[in-house]
Amino acid sequence: MTGLVSRFALVALLAVSACDDKPPAKPAPANTVQKAPVPTVAAPPVSAAASPLGQAINAAAFDPAAVDPQARRNTLIRVQTLLDRAHFSPGVIDGRDGGNLKLAIQAFQKAHDLPTDGEISQALLAALAAADNGPVLVDYTITQSDVAGPFTPQLPKEDYEAMAREPAMNYHDIVEMLAERFHMDEALLRELNPGANFNQAGATIMVTAAGADTLPAKVDRIEIDKTLGQVRAFDETGAQVAVYPATVGSTERPAPSGEWAVRTLAPRPTYTYDPSRLTFGKPKEKLTIKAGPNNPVGSTWIDLTKDTYGIHGTPDPKLVNKRASHGCVRLTNWDATELGSAVKKGAKVIFMGTEARPA
């Protein structure tokens, strides 16, 4: 179980900006002829997405006879990104096969009356492209604000005492920040941009054109499937609006069963470690860890009427549905933010199925 979260205390996001004002030009001496300035032509920006790799991924198709592993990887990146934009989240976009991708494909197939085998096919790609055929890789120019951070040093996992001493639980570095912004695995971000200086403002990099972290309708009901490790969101008409992979409970701290409800929402939550109520960790005293994406409950906390339980983000998105939680429902930060932006107070939350500890 993830502990108690302050439900109403929100921590303001610090915006860091920089500017470089040039000194005023000196006036020309009297009785001199001023020369017209020589016009300068800015070099055209280098398009990363127009590179051979970017073009290959944007045009990736299904070929059952393909033996080139890079061609398969290109298709996986395209499928994952299009699923993400369609609100059938594969979790982290990493260009790899896995259980979360299979679950996302199955959910999309079911919603579009396709055979629910969880496999990539021409029919799947055609259905995804029919809804959204935009490029899956685009250019992004790193800004001075990106470079400035602020960033928080990486700390040992579950060292709650060290975390409590930090003024905020920010990203560790710019690569982690950019990867999460575009729903990507850090390794994929580096792979797509070999030799890139991510700390150089003005540099152009290639990123996935992921979803916008908003849903098309308000969420009135949430189903938490403990067997699959999946969260499904529905609007007031009963239409499914989103599907997310999730880590649900653990053997030691199983998630609850039955029907509960959303009590409140806390964007940028603090995290309270209370040893009198928790069975994990070493601290002997109550600790409060400040807000930030690397907070133990991530960027968003959706508080449930089941006391001390919630749906929340995580500092380790690639481990969602691969490692047990301490009892709550863990999503990637971006999926938790998306769900939190649309869920209604009082929305039904139904835990179903038999809990299975992720492998």
Query: Which of the residues are catalytic?
Result: 312, 328
Selection from 128, 171, 176 nearest residue 151 by Cα: 171
DSSP secondary structure of 238-303: S-EEEEEE-EE--SSSPPP-EEEEEEEEEES--EEE-TTT-SS-S-SS-EEEPPSTTSTTTTEEEE
Q: What 3-state class would DSSP assign to 60?
A: coil
Amino acid letter for position 290? K
Total residues found in the chain within this entry: 359
Residue 42 CA to chain centroid, in angstroms? 35
Query: Can you name the residues that pair with 302 across neighbouring β-strands?
Result: 265, 311
HEC assignment per residue over 82-126: HHHHCCECCCCECCCCCHHHHHHHHHHHHHCCCCCCCCCCHHHHH
C-alpha span between 40 and 206 (Å, rounded): 27
Selection from 274, 280, 270, 268 nearest residue 327 by Cα: 280
